[in-house]
Amino acid sequence: MNVKELKDVVIRFSGDSGDGMQLTGTLFSDTAALFGNGISTFPDYPAEIRAPQGTVAGVSGFQVHFGSSRMLTPGDYCDVLIAMNPAALKANVMWLKKDATIILDGDSLDEKSIARAGFKTNDPLEELGIKEYNILTPDITSMTKEVLKDSGLDNKAIVKCKNMFALGICLFLYDKPLDHATAYIRTKFGKKNPAVAEANVAVLNAGWNYAHNTHSFANTYTVQPAELEKGCYRSISGNVATAWGFMAASEKSGRPLFCGSYPITPATVILEELAKHKELGVKTVQAEDEIAGICTSIGAAFGGAFAVTTTSGPGLSLKSEAMGLAVIAELPLVVVDVQRGGPSTGLPTKTEQSDLMQALWGRNGECPMVVLAASSPSDCFDFAFTAGKIAMEHMTPVVLLTDGFIANGSQPWKIPSMSDYPTINPPIITELPEDEPVYMPYKRDEKLARRWALPGTEGLEHRIGGLEKDALKGSVSHDPKNHQLMVHTRAAKVAKVVDYIPEQKVMGPEEGELLVVGWGGTKGHLQATVEKMQAEGKSVALCHFNYINPLPKGVEKIFARYKKIVVCELNEGQFANYLRMNFQQFHYEQYNKCQGLPFTTVELEAKFNELLEK
Amino acid sequence: MKYTQADFKSDQEVKWCPGCGDHFILNAVQRAMPDVAEIAGRKRSEFVVVSGIGCSSRFPYYMKTYGFHSIHGRANAIATGLKVANPGVSVFVGTGDGDSLAIGGNHFIHAIRRNIDLNVVLFNNEIYGLTKGQYSPTSKLGKITKTSPYVTIEKPFNPGELIIGAKGTFFARSIDVEVDVTRQCLVRAAQHDGFSITEVLQNCVIFNDGAHAVFAKDKASRAAHTILLKDGEKMLFGANKEKGLVLDGFRLKVVTVGEDGYTIDDVLTHDSHEKDTYIHNALAAMKYPEFPVALGVIRDVEDKTYNDEVCRQVEEVKATSKIKCMDDLLNSGETWTIE
Strands A540-545 and A452-453: unpaired
CB-based contact (8 Å) between A329 and chain B?
yes
φ, ψ (nearest 5 deg) of residue A316: -65, -40
Write out chain A residues lying below 8 Å of B324, CB-based: 279
pLDDT recorded at residue A556: 97
Buried b (16+ CB within 10 A) or exposed e, A186-217: eeebbeeeeebbbbbbbbbbbbbebbbeeeeb
Sheet holding B251-256, edge to edge: B236-237, B243-248, B251-256
Domain encompassing residue B42: 5-232+292-306
| Under 8 Å between Cβ of A213 and A138 | no
Instruction: Say if residue A48's pLDDT is above 90.
Output: no
d(CA B259, CA B267): 12
**CA proximity to B321, closest of A274, A240, A276:** A276
- Categorize the per-residue pLDDT at A270 as very low, low, confident or very high, splitting at 50, 70 and 90: very high
Q: State pLDDT tens for residues A548-599.
A: 999 999 999 999 999 999 999 999 999 999 999 999 999 999 999 999 999 9
CB-based contact (8 Å) between A275 and chain B?
no
| Under 8 Å between Cβ of A471 and A486 | yes
Instruction: Tell me which of A210-224, A307-321, B186-200 is least confident.
Output: A210-224
Helix axes A194-214, A140-147, angle to 10 degrees: 120
Close Cβ partners of B134 (under 8 Å, ≥ 6 residues apart): B127, B128, B145, B146, B147, B148
CA distance A356 to chain B (A): 25
**CA proximity to B203, closest of B14, B11, B18:** B18
**CA proximity to A283, closest of B321, B48, B317, B70:** B317
Mean pLDDT of A103-123: 93
Least CB–CB distance from B74: residue in A256, A283, A322: A322
Least CB–CB distance from B327: residue in A34, A322, A418: A418
Which of A258, A296, A432, A451 should we substitute to test contact with B (largest number of B Cβ atoms within 10 Å)?
A: A296
- Categorize the per-residue pLDDT at A281 as very low, low, confident or very high, splitting at 50, 70 and 90: very high
How many CB atoms are closer than 10 A to CB B159?
24
pLDDT recorded at residue A18: 82
Close Cβ partners of A449 (under 8 Å, ≥ 6 residues apart): A330, A393, A394, A395, A396, A427, A493
Q: Tell me if A297 and B317 make a contact (CB, 8 A cut-off).
A: no
Residue B283 domain-assigned (yes or no): no
d(CA B146, CA B123): 21
Q: What is the mean pLDDT of chain A?
A: 95
Q: Could you say which DSSP state residue A445 is in?
A: -
Write out chain B residues lying below 8 Å of A476, CB-based: 12, 61
Q: Tell me if B78 and A296 make a contact (CB, 8 A cut-off).
A: yes
**Count of domains observed in chain B:** 1
- Categorize the per-residue pLDDT at A99 as very low, low, confident or very high, splitting at 50, 70 and 90: confident
Write out chain A residues lying below 8 Å of B339, CB-based: 230
Q: Is the dihedral of CA A24, A27, A31, A37 positive or negative?
A: positive
Highest mean pLDDT among A40-54, A121-135, A482-496: A482-496
d(CA A131, CA A125): 6
Q: Where are the alpha helices (DSSP H) in A36-139?
A: 86-92, 111-116, 124-128
pLDDT recorded at residue A47: 72
Amino acid occupying residue B97:
D
d(CA A570, CA A520): 10
Close Cβ partners of A517 (under 8 Å, ≥ 6 residues apart): A542, A543, A544, A545, A565, A566, A567, A568, A575, A579, A588
Closest alpha carbon within chain A to B84 = A300
Amino acid occupying residue B27:
N
Helix (H, G, I), strand (E, B), or coil: what is residue B256? strand
| Under 8 Å between Cβ of B121 and B108 | no
* Sequential DSSP letters for A333-370: EEEEEEE-B-STT-BTTS---TTHHHHHH-SSSS---E
**C-alpha B146, offset from chain centre:** 28
Residue B141 domain-assigned (yes or no): yes
Strands B170-175 and B196-201: parallel
d(CA A391, CA A327): 11
Residue B51 domain-assigned (yes or no): yes
- Categorize the per-residue pLDDT at A1 as very low, low, confident or very high, splitting at 50, 70 and 90: low
Instruction: Say if residue A218's pLDDT is above 80.
Output: no
Q: Where are the alpha helices (DSSP H) in A420-546?
A: 480-496, 523-535
Residue B203 domain-assigned (yes or no): yes
CB-based contact (8 Å) between A343 and chain B?
no
CA distance B105 to chain A (A): 11
Least CB–CB distance from B317: residue in A279, A298, A416: A279
| Under 8 Å between Cβ of A370 and A401 | no
The enclosing H or E element of A372 equals: strand A370-373
Look at chain A and count its residues: 614
Q: Which residues of chain B have pLDDT under 50?
A: none
Helix axes A480-496, A379-394, angle to 10 degrees: 150
Q: CA dist B75 to A145, A293, A561, Å?
A: 59, 13, 53
Mean pLDDT of A145-155: 94
Q: Tell me if B86 and A292 make a contact (CB, 8 A cut-off).
A: no
Sheet holding A370-373, edge to edge: A283-286, A257-261, A306-311, A333-339, A397-403, A370-373, A547-549
Instruction: Say if residue A284's pLDDT is above 80.
Output: yes
Q: Tell me if B77 and A256 make a contact (CB, 8 A cut-off).
A: no
Q: Tell me if B85 and A283 make a contact (CB, 8 A cut-off).
A: yes
Residue B215 domain-assigned (yes or no): yes
Q: Which ipTM did the prediction report?
A: 0.97
- Give the domains, in start order, of chain A with CATH numbers: 2-223 (3.40.920.10), 234-420 (3.40.50.970), 512-613 (3.40.50.920)
β strands within A173-249, DSSP E: 219-223, 231-237
Write out chain B residues lying below 8 Å of A287, CB-based: 77, 110
- Categorize the per-residue pLDDT at A67 as very low, low, confident or very high, splitting at 50, 70 and 90: very high
CATH code, B153: 3.40.50.970
Closest alpha carbon within chain B to A259 = B81
d(CA A493, CA A476): 20
CB-based contact (8 Å) between A89 and chain B?
no
d(CA A326, CA A299): 10
**CA proximity to A27, closest of A163, A217, A142, A122:** A163
Closest alpha carbon within chain A to B69 = A465
Instruction: Say if residue A108's pLDDT is above 70.
Output: yes
**C-alpha A429, offset from chain centre:** 37
Q: Tell me if A465 and B67 make a contact (CB, 8 A cut-off).
A: yes
Closest alpha carbon within chain A to B318 = A279
Residue B216 domain-assigned (yes or no): yes
Instruction: Say if residue A367's pLDDT is above 90.
Output: yes
Q: Tell me if A278 and B68 make a contact (CB, 8 A cut-off).
A: no
Closest alpha carbon within chain B to A461 = B66
Least CB–CB distance from B80: residue in A256, A285, A463: A285
d(CA B65, CA A179): 62
φ, ψ (nearest 5 deg) of residue A499: -75, -10
Cis geometry, peptide bond prior to residue A266 (ω within 30 degrees of 0): yes
Q: CA dist B335 to A27, A90, A105, A237, Å?
A: 14, 37, 34, 14
Look at chain B and count its residues: 339
Instruction: Say if residue A22's pLDDT is above 80.
Output: yes
CA distance A210 to chain B (A): 29
Write out chain A residues lying below 8 Å of B330, CB-based: 234, 244, 415-418
Q: Could you say which DSSP state residue B120 is in?
A: E
Residue B223 domain-assigned (yes or no): yes
Residue B157 domain-assigned (yes or no): yes
β strands within B26-73, DSSP E: 47-51, 66-69
Count how many pairs of residues, chain A against chain B, have C-beta atoms within 8 Å: 203
d(CA A439, CA A451): 10
Closest alpha carbon within chain B to A416 = B330
Instruction: Say if residue A513's pLDDT is above 70.
Output: yes
**C-alpha A387, offset from chain centre:** 16
pLDDT recorded at residue A242: 98
pLDDT recorded at residue A110: 93
d(CA B282, CA B161): 8
